[in-house]
A = this chain, B = another copy of it.
């Protein structure tokens, strides 16, 4: 069965790659519908805060806290400290992570705070990030704050 949230996140990542950006995508799903989708915007918007998950949350607009409590956020890559913090702020109870092999974010913090994680092991996303990191280590390390 196709998972609409996962497929939207992968499409977003691919769009980011086509734009010359960092290929990470995300989607915020509530009650089976995508309320927001997004992708890393460091290159496209010169943004330091619009990682994919942040962009998806931003594009969903202002939501009542109760809506986030029913949400699942999909991301093509394990969420970093910032994106994990946004997930905790809004009490999003579940994160579907396409892959956590090329980077592992704040998964243990999320689990400790009661967030459910599902790791897909999506080969498309692993290959896309492996290739990107090999080709553009400068962009990648800027994005994860590592000198």
Give residues in A with beta carbon < 8 Å to B.
42, 46-50, 54, 57-58, 60-66, 68-69, 80-86, 88-91, 106, 109, 141-142, 144-147
Copy number in the complex reads 2
Residues of chain B with a CB closer than 8 A to A57's CB: 48-49
CA distance A80 to B64 in the complex (A): 17
A50 CB, nearest partner CB in chain B, Å: 8
Q: Is the CB of A61 within 8 A of B46?
A: yes
* A85 nearest in chain B by CB position: B85
Q: 9 A-B pairs, CB-CB below 8 angstroms?
A: A48-B90, A49-B54, A49-B86, A65-B141, A65-B145, A81-B85, A82-B86, A89-B144, A89-B145
> A61 contacts B48, CB within 8 Å?
yes
Residues of B within 8 A of A68 (CB): 145
A61 to B141, CA, bound (A): 16
Among B61, B62, B147, contact of A65 (Cβ-Cβ < 8 Å):
B147
